[in-house]
Amino acid sequence: MKVRTTILVLILVGLVIVGLVVACGGAQEEPAAPPPEEGPSGELAGEELLETRCARCHALDIVEGATKTQAEWESTVQRMIAKGTELTDAEAQVLVEYLAETYGP
């Protein structure tokens, strides 16, 4: 009697495992986000730079709540580059111009 119960339990456990594998294997991957828009020279637009580079380290509400002049944004962007933000000189300029225009006084 014990052998029969053990076999039934093993079969039941096996069926549960197979069911879980089948259920998990059917999950669909989310589609990848569309690539960021690039300007005519292949550089990213200011808004895209803000969303892809700045948001890596902090929430954008910090940026959106600030009001700075172009010189102040330049200083901020240079400080973030010194902390490790990856921006080319051209991208930094595009970002500064976007920030000054969008979040300037």
Q: What is the DSSP letter of 26?
A: T
Assessment of whether the complete model's pTM goes beyond 0.75: no
pLDDT tens digits, residue range 38-59? Answer: 554 555 799 999 999 999 998 9
CA distance 46 to 90: 11
CA distance 63 to 55: 10
Domain coverage including residue 57: 46-103
Could you tell me the CATH number of the domain that includes residue 71? Answer: 1.10.760.10
In-domain check, residue 4:
no
Number of domains into which the chain is organized: 1
In-domain check, residue 11:
no
Most confident of 3-7, 22-26, 43-47, 87-91: 87-91
In-domain check, residue 27:
no
- Crossing angle for the helix pair 89-103 and 70-82, nearest 10 degrees? 140
pLDDT tens digits, residue range 20-34? Answer: 666 665 555 555 545
